[in-house]
Amino acid sequence: MIKTKGILHVTIPVSDPARSRAFYTDILGLEFVAQVPKENPHFVFLKSGADYVLLGRDTSRGRFSDIIHHAFIVDGDAYDATVAELKAKGVDVFREDQRDEGIFTGRSAYFHDPDNNALEVIHLTNRAKG
């Protein structure tokens, strides 16, 4: 049986890597690592904590449903300020949840990036319980 050790990165499809790089760094605070190729990039490499997010140029796909989304963890004492900052920067937070039971618990806010990919910020109060 194959035994993987973790996830190196997730790739989020975007139509305009420069616009999306600005969103993920300026709005969500991800750290820029690199882009390839340097001129007219197809991939932008970003870092969130110890994890990597790649923005991959893909102009041919349609919009995913909000079921397919990427969640970013924020500290509990920063959750309210995070949601307020999203809204202040013109990001439409279309849903907020408080989950007290389930695999992941905590307060969550859902919104879209410039390509309408669904994203979540969560104050995670537990680790996965399987």
Strand pairing class (43-48; 51-57): antiparallel
Q: Could you list the pLDDT tens digit for every one of the 130 residues in the chain? A: 878 777 889 999 999 999 999 999 999 999 999 999 888 889 999 999 999 999 999 877 666 677 788 999 999 999 999 999 999 999 999 999 998 988 889 999 999 999 999 999 999 998 765 5
Strand pairing class (43-48; 95-99): unpaired
Model pLDDT, residue 108: 94
Tokens matching residue 60 = 């041919």
Model pLDDT, residue 128: 63
d(CA 17, CA 54): 10
Tokens matching residue 12 = 């989020």
